[in-house]
């Protein structure tokens, strides 16, 4: 923009002084990473230092003046002489009505965002006005502030006159550099593409284009990169729980963090932490596998409140939901005995192969109090393949500890009971409503899948443990307590049910459950094909101030698209990624005819906020009442036959109503 065009915009804008400040920096000190909350003029009265505006560096020697727009990062470095300076913060808005040409100039080359700096040829007039502004601003009266406004106009006039005379040039702000630094310093906050674009006063498309030109990746990809690099550092350097690490890098959902970490790094967070430890350190420090003290005089009980993801000591008695977990002063002795028994009872003929984690060593031993009638005949022993190798069972387990709550559903479907289980944290109750009355009152509560309570597992003395990748770090410790298998929690629930059926000796019952489901979905698929006529259906979930959309590769979404033959919007056809995040505004592009809207107690407030927006209310599906709220815990958390049958029932009720 030409200088005269700048003046056109300056003349028409409404200017408001927001603050006037005075500061001094001593040699050896500095100002680092200060993001300007408003447009700023900075005037140095004396001293030597370097001023850095994003990536532009100026050597300020005594009198120097510079300008930068809101969002710019300011550093004052290399202070060699006491540096005294003033800062005037201001806002500028275009008053309406105004000519289109002015609005075009303002939008295309906003002079209030430009960065420039120069040593004025006549510094005294500028200094006198800015010093007087400082005095008047400190008085604080309304008349004094009016005087400040008048002085500010005089200051801008004098500065522009000298800038024009000296032939100074202004530089557009480096939006990409600003956004990169913002992400580097605030990656733990709720950062969205739209919030970044709004902060740096540009369009989403422009921000993406500038980012890719600089880094060859988009803003959200860079945010992911920064978050994961910081997560890796914390996993290497601390023993902090996964949920705490997830929250510290910007993820309120520990499960989503773990999925993103594995996608980015290639291994789960727990496995990364284990592999990152020096071998010598692991050998000398085997207890690192568990953060819980051995021989604790008091059992720690897990808090089920998601935003208090830590162990709490409750004085005055055990909370009602934890009454089944009794404090055991001899937990340390019990662990030692269990470890001794597991080490001494290894049978050479039944040892596990490479990678099995040593889970076979106790598989053929009778559990304390086990009924000998449950033993499997030698010629009919069962070998279970799992993520850590193979395990051979010589008898049917009686006391199963489940460390991923989705397998509770699978056991109940086969008329079996877990002796202990972890709980969910997304809802106010430890288990979903559909399991009410199906679980025994004496079932032990073992923490959550993200943070199992190892002491509680030891206290229940299981004869079999089912875990998943979430417990990878403590797998070796679990295997010393009882035979342990690690199942893939993202495996098709039908395959998992077959495995569970083999474990509990109910393969025929598992087959019947699957046949019944197949018959049910085949019938419903025919009805939906006739009714829907190709209308599109999407599965969405509010998350981190955005919308998570579940693709055709997602395990629950597969019920919609594979089992029931419904049509996904083209944006959801993906056989590699199970989900992605989009902004609320992008739902208009998705434009599905029907939405199944996942929510839970944890994100209920966010869900209500989204549904109150104009964008949401203007969606065609919302106007036609084709949005169906469903419980995320049921649809996502409990991936078993009972839950999946209920999901199918809810789909049928939603899409076939009125027929």
Instruction: Label each residue of 557-585 as H, E or C.
Output: HHHHHHHCCCECCHHHCCCCCCEEEECHH
- Name the one residue in this structure whose structure tokens are 């520990």: 254
Contact predicate 183/191, CB 8 Å: yes
Mean pLDDT of 112-120: 87
How far apart are the C-alpha atoms of 286 and 480, rounded to whole Å? 13
Mean pLDDT of 384-389: 92
| CA separation, residue 208 to residues 197, 215, 547, 563, 586 (Å) | 9, 10, 19, 38, 15
pLDDT at 564 over 50: yes
pLDDT at 528 over 80: yes
Contact predicate 554/538, CB 8 Å: no
Residue 643 burial (CB count, 10 A) = 26
Among 277-286, 421-430, 646-655, the range of highest mean pLDDT: 646-655
pLDDT at 309 over 70: no
How far apart are the C-alpha atoms of 302 and 207, rounded to whole Å? 44
How far apart are the C-alpha atoms of 481 and 463, rounded to whole Å? 8
Is the peptide bond preceding residue 236 cis, with omega within 30 degrees of 0? no
Question: What is the distance, to the nearest Å, from the Cα of residue 228 to the centroid of all Cα atoms in its chain?
Answer: 11
Higher-pLDDT residue of 623 and 106 is 623
With bands split at pLDDT 50, 70 and 90, how would you rate the model's confidence at 90? very high
Mean pLDDT of 314-323: 34
Higher-pLDDT residue of 574 and 345 is 574
Residue 93 burial (CB count, 10 A) = 11
With bands split at pLDDT 50, 70 and 90, how would you rate the model's confidence at 3? low
pLDDT for the residue numbered 102 = 75
| CA separation, residue 10 to residues 15, 40, 139, 552, 584 (Å) | 9, 15, 28, 53, 36
With bands split at pLDDT 50, 70 and 90, how would you rate the model's confidence at 555? confident
Higher-pLDDT residue of 608 and 647 is 647
DSSP string, 155-222: HHHHHHHHHHHHT---B---HHHHHHHHHHHHTTS---HHHHHHHTTS-HHHHHHHHHHHHSS-HHHH
In the DSSP assignment, the letter for residue 63 is S
Mean pLDDT of 14-42: 91
With bands split at pLDDT 50, 70 and 90, how would you rate the model's confidence at 23? very high
- Strand-strand pairing, 389-393 and 382-386: antiparallel
Closest-CA residue to 513 (of 655, 415, 387): 415
Contact predicate 337/368, CB 8 Å: no
How do residues 438-466 score in pLDDT, each as one tens digit? 888 889 989 887 788 888 899 899 999 99
pLDDT at 316 over 50: no
Alpha-carbon torsion 306, 309, 315, 321, what sign? Answer: positive
The DSSP H or E segment spanning 124 is: helix 123-139
- Name the one residue in this structure whose structure tokens are 């403590």: 474
pLDDT for the residue numbered 425 = 59
pLDDT at 299 over 50: no
How far apart are the C-alpha atoms of 566 and 564, rounded to whole Å? 6
With bands split at pLDDT 50, 70 and 90, how would you rate the model's confidence at 329? very low
Closest-CA residue to 235 (of 226, 224, 246): 246
How far apart are the C-alpha atoms of 21 and 17, rounded to whole Å? 11
pLDDT at 568 over 70: yes
pLDDT for the residue numbered 169 = 58
| CA separation, residue 650 to residues 524, 589, 631 (Å) | 12, 26, 10
pLDDT for the residue numbered 318 = 32
Q: How wide is the angle at C-alpha 473 spanned by C-alphas 471 and 477, nearest 5°?
A: 90
pLDDT for the residue numbered 140 = 86
Mean pLDDT of the chain: 79
Tokens representing 147? Answer: 């005087």
Mean pLDDT of 551-564: 91
How far apart are the C-alpha atoms of 482 and 467, rounded to whole Å? 12
Closest-CA residue to 418 (of 433, 407, 429): 407
Contact predicate 71/196, CB 8 Å: no
pLDDT for the residue numbered 336 = 52
pLDDT at 347 over 70: no
How far apart are the C-alpha atoms of 562 and 318, rounded to whole Å? 46
- Rg for the chain (alpha carbons), in Å? 32
Least confident range of 207-211, 358-362, 468-472, 637-641: 358-362
DSSP string, 324-375: TS---TTHHHHHHHHHHHHHHT--GGG---TTSTTGGGGTTSPPTT--GGGB
pLDDT for the residue numbered 582 = 85
pLDDT for the residue numbered 359 = 39
Least confident range of 157-166, 278-287, 594-603: 278-287
pLDDT at 588 over 90: no
Q: How wide is the angle at C-alpha 362 spanned by C-alphas 357 and 367, nearest 5°?
A: 140
* Contacts of 93-102 spanning 24+ positions with Cβ under 8 A: 93/13, 93/14, 94/9, 94/12, 94/13, 94/14, 95/12, 95/13, 95/14, 98/12, 102/8, 102/9, 102/12
Higher-pLDDT residue of 422 and 356 is 422
- Of the chain, the percentage scoring pLDDT greater than 70 comes to 81
Q: Which residues of 13-33 are buried (b: 16+ CB within 10 A; e: fewer)?
A: beeebeebebeebeeeebbee
Higher-pLDDT residue of 483 and 94 is 483
Least confident range of 336-345, 409-418, 590-599: 336-345
pLDDT for the residue numbered 35 = 87
Least confident range of 127-131, 273-277, 422-426, 501-505: 422-426
> What are the start-end ranges of the H helices in 368-484?
406-413, 454-460, 475-481
- Name the one residue in this structure whose structure tokens are 């393949």: 385
Mean pLDDT of 45-49: 90
How far apart are the C-alpha atoms of 276 and 295, rounded to whole Å? 28
pLDDT at 624 over 80: yes
With bands split at pLDDT 50, 70 and 90, how would you rate the model's confidence at 114? confident
Closest-CA residue to 193 (of 181, 185, 205): 205
Closest-CA residue to 478 (of 387, 372, 612, 586): 387
In the DSSP assignment, the letter for residue 471 is G
Cα end-to-end distance, the chain, whole Å: 64
pLDDT at 116 over 70: yes
Mean pLDDT of 355-369: 39
Least confident range of 278-287, 384-393, 582-591: 278-287
Tokens representing 177? Answer: 């550099």
Mean pLDDT of 196-213: 79
pLDDT at 654 over 60: yes
Q: Is 477 exposed, middle or buried (0-12, 13-18, 19+ CB in 10 A)?
A: buried
Higher-pLDDT residue of 344 and 315 is 344
Mean pLDDT of 347-363: 39
pLDDT at 117 over 80: yes
Contact predicate 610/616, CB 8 Å: yes
pLDDT at 214 over 90: no
Residue 241 burial (CB count, 10 A) = 16
pLDDT for the residue numbered 391 = 92
Closest-CA residue to 501 (of 514, 491, 488, 492): 514
């Amino acid at each position: 923009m030409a200088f005269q065009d700048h003046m056109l915009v300056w003349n028409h804008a409404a200017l408001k002084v927001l603050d006037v400040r005075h500061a001094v920096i001593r040699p050896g000190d500095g100002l680092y990473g200060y993001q300007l909350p408003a447009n700023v003029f900075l005037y140095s009265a004396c001293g030597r230092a370097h001023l850095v505006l994003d990536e532009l560096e100026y050597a300020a020697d005594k009198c120097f003046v510079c300008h930068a727009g809101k969002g710019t990062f300011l550093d004052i470095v290399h202070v060699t002489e006491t540096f005294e300076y003033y800062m005037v913060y201001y806002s500028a808005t275009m008053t309406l009505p105004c000519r289109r040409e002015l609005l075009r100039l303002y939008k295309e080359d906003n002079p209030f965002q430009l960065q420039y700096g120069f040593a004025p040829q006549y510094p005294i007039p500028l200094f006198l006005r800015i010093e007087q502004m400082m005095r008047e601003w400190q008085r604080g009266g309304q008349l004094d502030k009016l005087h400040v406004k008048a002085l500010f106009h005089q200051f801008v006039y004098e500065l522009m006159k000298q800038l024009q005379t000296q032939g100074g040039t202004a530089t557009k702000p480096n939006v990409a550099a600003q956004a990169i630094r913002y992400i580097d310093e605030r990656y733990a906050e709720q950062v969205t593409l739209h919030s970044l674009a709004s902060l740096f006063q540009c369009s989403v498309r422009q921000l993406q284009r500038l980012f890719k030109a600089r880094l060859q990746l988009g803003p959200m990809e860079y945010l992911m990169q920064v978050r994961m690099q910081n997560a890796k550092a914390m996993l290497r350097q601390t023993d902090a729980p996964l949920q705490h690490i997830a929250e510290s890098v910007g993820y309120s959902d520990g499960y989503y963090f773990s999925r993103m970490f594995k996608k980015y790094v290639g291994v789960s967070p727990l496995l990364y932490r284990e592999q990152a430890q020096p071998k010598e350190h692991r050998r000398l420090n085997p207890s690192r596998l568990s953060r819980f003290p051995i021989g604790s005089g008091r059992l720690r009980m897990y808090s089920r409140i998601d935003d208090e993801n830590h162990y709490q000591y409750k004085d005055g008695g055990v909370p009602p939901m934890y009454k089944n977990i009794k404090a055991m002063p001899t937990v340390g002795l019990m662990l030692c005995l269990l470890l001794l028994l597991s080490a001494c009872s290894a049978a050479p003929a039944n040892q596990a192969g490479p990678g099995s984690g040593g889970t076979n060593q106790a598989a053929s031993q009778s559990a304390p109090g086990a009924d000998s009638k449950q033993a499997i005949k030698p010629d009919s022993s069962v070998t279970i393949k799992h993520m850590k190798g193979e395990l051979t069972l010589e008898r049917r387990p009686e006391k199963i500890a489940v460390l991923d709550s989705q397998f509770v559903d699978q056991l109940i479907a086969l008329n079996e009971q877990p002796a202990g289980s972890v709980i969910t944290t997304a809802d106010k109750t430890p288990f979903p409503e559909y399991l009410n009355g199906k679980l025994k009152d004496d079932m032990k509560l073992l923490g959550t899948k993200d943070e199992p309570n190892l002491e509680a597992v030891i206290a229940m003395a299981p004869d079999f443990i089912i875990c998943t990748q979430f417990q990878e770090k403590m797998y070796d410790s679990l295997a010393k307590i009882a035979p342990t298998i690690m199942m893939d929690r993202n495996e098709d629930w039908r395959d998992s049910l077959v495995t569970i059926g083999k474990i509990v000796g109910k393969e025929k019952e598992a087959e019947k459950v699957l046949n019944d489901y197949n018959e049910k979905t085949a019938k419903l698929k025919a009805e939906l094909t006739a009714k829907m006529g190709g209308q599109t259906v999407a599965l969405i979930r509010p998350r981190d101030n955005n919308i998570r959309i579940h693709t055709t590769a997602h395990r629950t979404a597969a019920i919609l698209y594979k089992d029931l033959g419904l049509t996904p919007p083209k944006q959801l056809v993906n056989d590699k990624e199970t989900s992605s995040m989009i902004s609320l505004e992008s739902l208009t592009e998705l434009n599905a005819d029907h939405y199944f809207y996942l929510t839970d107690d944890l994100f209920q407030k966010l869900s209500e906020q989204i549904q109150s927006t104009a964008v949401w209310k203007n969606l065609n599906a919302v106007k036609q009442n084709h949005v169906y709220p469903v419980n995320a815990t049921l649809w996502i958390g409990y991936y078993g036959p009972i839950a999946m049958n209920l999901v199918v029932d809810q789909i049928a009720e939603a899409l076939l109503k009125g027929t």
